[in-house]
Amino acid sequence: MRPDDPHSVPRRTALAGLVALATTGCSKLAFLAANIPAAFGAYTRRRDLRYGSEPRQLLDVYTPDKQGPYLRPLVVFWHGGRWEFGDKNEYRFVGAALAEAGYAAVLPDYRHYPEVKLQGFMEDAARAAAWAVAHAGEFHADPGRLYLMGHSSGAHMAVLLALDTRYFVRIDAGIPPIAGVVGLSGPYDFLPLTETDLQDMFGPPELYALSQPINFVRDDAPPMLLAQGENDDTVAPKNSRNLAAALAAHDVPVTLLMFPDLTHADTAAALSEPARGRAPILAAIEEFVGATARAGPRALVPKGPGVS
């Protein structure tokens, strides 16, 4: 951090008081702690942009304050919350981390159960991704370098959208080229369904298979980075292992990172500045994005004065 950075003093103060809290592994507390220092980052946040007419069809876009000579990779990140709760604002630290890494990060909200079931929130996911591609140029992002990413149920949505592209067809959108997918502590292979809310959300029983990303693995699936903690007692670690094995069996490039000491929330919390020492999640994402771009970075075309 530069000595003349006007945010350095409050940011150091926030970090000093929040490191212990942000590394506890309790998702609500950890994410609250992570979002406070994230407010001082070197990025611009455009809030509550609408990608649909429903109240929860809003998204935030995070971009770096500095613009390099190339278009930025475009990352769409979906929040967790069992498909029933959660909010993009809880993951502000993720948008900040991705923007400060040089990406344009899009964080959508989406409709939750019981307002909608699988098809409803997955169509929201497709609409948000299609919006990001259509508006990429406004944020100096490259629509040809699209990455889908999420935590927990958001990781399920990111992976399922990448593998079952029929959701793009259902909203009458073109299927975008997906350069890669990042899943943090996601459920990908979680049958049988024993909880009544999940049975209703993904039912009737003859439709359960449609909710399982592992059932849609194919030879031309995009590369994936999967990260999970062995101490995850919310989503069984076998989900990441099984999906990684299925992808590898189809010769799809996959990186599986299993961390012995991490819990369910930790894979996301490790993107925050206070908790990055717990696991190299951000470094792994940067390496993955750098290695999986389907085309080389495209130079930024100047649009004249006044364009940020």
Domains identified in the chain and CATH numbers? 8-292 (3.40.50.1820)
Question: What does the pLDDT read at residue 125?
Answer: 98
Q: How many Cα atoms sit within 13 Å of 243 on the Cβ side?
A: 37
Q: Most distant CA pair in the chain: distance in Å?
A: 61
Q: What is the enclosing helix (H) or strand (E) of 45?
A: strand 43-50
Distance between CA atoms of residues 89 and 71, nearest Å = 26
Residues 145-151 have a mean pLDDT of: 98
Backbone angles phi, psi at 286, to 5 degrees: -60, -40
The pLDDT confidence band at residue 214, using thresholds 50, 70 and 90, is very high
The pLDDT confidence band at residue 299, using thresholds 50, 70 and 90, is low
pLDDT at 2 over 60: no
Of 200, 47, 175, 50, nearest to 118 by C-alpha is 200
Amino acid at the residue 302: P
The rounded Cα 199 to chain-centroid distance in angstroms is 25
Reported as a single tens digit per residue, the pLDDT across 13-41 is: 333 333 333 333 346 666 776 787 777 78
Residues 243-255 have a mean pLDDT of: 98
Residues 246-258 have a mean pLDDT of: 98
Question: What does the pLDDT read at residue 13?
Answer: 34
Residues 30-59 have a mean pLDDT of: 87
Distance between CA atoms of residues 100 and 7, nearest Å = 15
In the predicted model, what is the mean pLDDT of the chain?
88
- Reduced to 3 states, what is the DSSP secondary structure of residue 169? helix
Distance between CA atoms of residues 163 and 160, nearest Å = 5
Q: Which has more pLDDT, 27 or 1? A: 27
Q: How many Cα atoms sit within 13 Å of 290 on the Cβ side?
A: 8
Q: What is the enclosing helix (H) or strand (E) of 61?
A: strand 58-64
Reported as a single tens digit per residue, the pLDDT across 172-197 is: 999 999 999 999 999 999 999 999 99
Distance between CA atoms of residues 268 and 111, nearest Å = 21
Of 124, 126, 117, nearest to 204 by C-alpha is 117
Using CA atoms of 300, 49, 165, 223 in order, give the dihedral in degrees to the nearest 10.
50
Question: What does the pLDDT read at residue 300?
Answer: 53
| Count of beta carbons in the 10 Å neighbourhood of residue 88 | 23
